[in-house]
Structure 1
Amino acid sequence: MIDQPNAASVGIIRDGTILIIKRAKAPYQNLWTFPGGRMDPGETPEQCAIREIEEELGLVIRNPRHALTQELGRDGTYRLAVFATTDFSGTIRPSDEVADYKWADPGMLPALRTTSRLDDVIGECFKLLGENW
């Protein structure tokens, strides 16, 4: 049983692709993953997910759906609630926490250095939203 989440991330899906970022800072510097981060005091995982996407990418997401929660880091330091959505607006304006970003398809992942089990997490997001990956 995983404790309450203390971080959140979002898989944003568009036309059979998913938005991933290359982290510019620790933790997970130079790894490809979903945008997201730690929860602020009093914040719900959903509120964290919405805030982090706006801070890191300048996008507004709506209707995030919980896909899974995973423990990451040494001794489960991060209890990451992963959300998925196709409902977003805005223009991507990466913050200094984002070294790069791309809309990824399944063929791209093997060539990228990603966070642990990102392919499985992406699969769960697509399955949750009834999308093909």
Structure 2
Amino acid sequence: MSDQTADQPGISAGIIVQGDRVLMVRRRVKEGELMWQFPAGAIEAGETAEEAAVRETQEETGLTVEAVKPLGERVHPKTGRLMSYTACIPVSGEAHVADDEELAEVAWVAHAEIPTYVPYGLFKPVQEYLDSELAAAG
């Protein structure tokens, strides 16, 4: 892997909507309260947050996606890591557990089911994006 500096690299998450569902993954190792989340991983040297979201989604789920637009960033309240969120659209492939060391399962989650998967709520710009995308599809 790349050299780790004193500052941890930022994490980039892909927010992938297909039809009336959003792709979520369940990690093998829980991060605090985080059980279900979006495909995500460290931004590598020389990589943009959007590129990292596309790469991590491919590595973790086997799904090829295209970055559409950045949704924002924040310091995650549960992990303390800098998080970037990127809206992506599926281009090819089927989502599955491609990295079984990191993931336990993947799920396409309906709008109404999101609070069951993420009971503490989503980052506001992500929630607003999903509200508009999934409500329009539903």
Counterpart of 2:31 in 1: which secondary structure? coil
**Residue 10 and residue 28 in structure 1: after superposition, are their counterparts in 2 closer, same or farther (change >3 A)?**
farther
- The offset of 1:36, in angstroms, is 0.6
- The offset of 1:39, in angstroms, is 1.0
Alpha-carbon distance in structure 2 between the residues aligned to 1:23 and 1:121: 23
- The offset of 1:30, in angstroms, is 6.3
**Residue 7 and residue 115 in structure 1: after superposition, are their counterparts in 2 closer, same or farther (change >3 A)?**
farther
Alpha-carbon distance in structure 2 between the residues aligned to 1:42 and 1:57: 23
The one-character-per-residue Cα deviations of 1:1-41 (angstroms, maximum 9, x if unpaired) are xxxx7110011101111011111125358611101111112
Aligned to 2:128: 124
Aligned to 1:101: 106
The one-character-per-residue Cα deviations of 1:41-93 (angstroms, maximum 9, x if unpaired) are 2221111111101110111111331012121157x731111011224211223
Q: Which amino acid aligns with 1:110?
A: P
Alpha-carbon distance in structure 1 between the residues aligned to 2:77 and 2:115: 22
**Residue 27 and residue 42 in structure 1: after superposition, are their counterparts in 2 closer, same or farther (change >3 A)?**
farther
Q: Structure 1: which 5+ runs fail to align?
A: none
Percent identical: 24
Counterpart of 1:20 in 2: which secondary structure? strand
* TM-score, structure 1 normalization: 0.77
Counterpart of 1:19 in 2: which secondary structure? strand
Give the alignment of 1:69-108 within 5 angstroms.
Answer: 69-72=73-76, 77-94=80-97, 95-96=99-100, 97-108=102-113
* TM-score, structure 2 normalization: 0.75
Give the alignment of 1:52-71 within 5 angstroms.
Answer: 52-71=56-75
Q: Structure 2: which 5+ runs fail to align?
A: 1-8
Alpha-carbon distance in structure 2 between the residues aligned to 1:87 and 1:37: 18
**Residue 101 and residue 29 in structure 1: after superposition, are their counterparts in 2 closer, same or farther (change >3 A)?**
farther
**RMSD of Structure 2 on Structure 1 (CA):** 2.6
2:116 corresponds to which of 89, 93, 111: 111
Alpha-carbon distance in structure 1 between the residues aligned to 2:57 and 2:121: 21
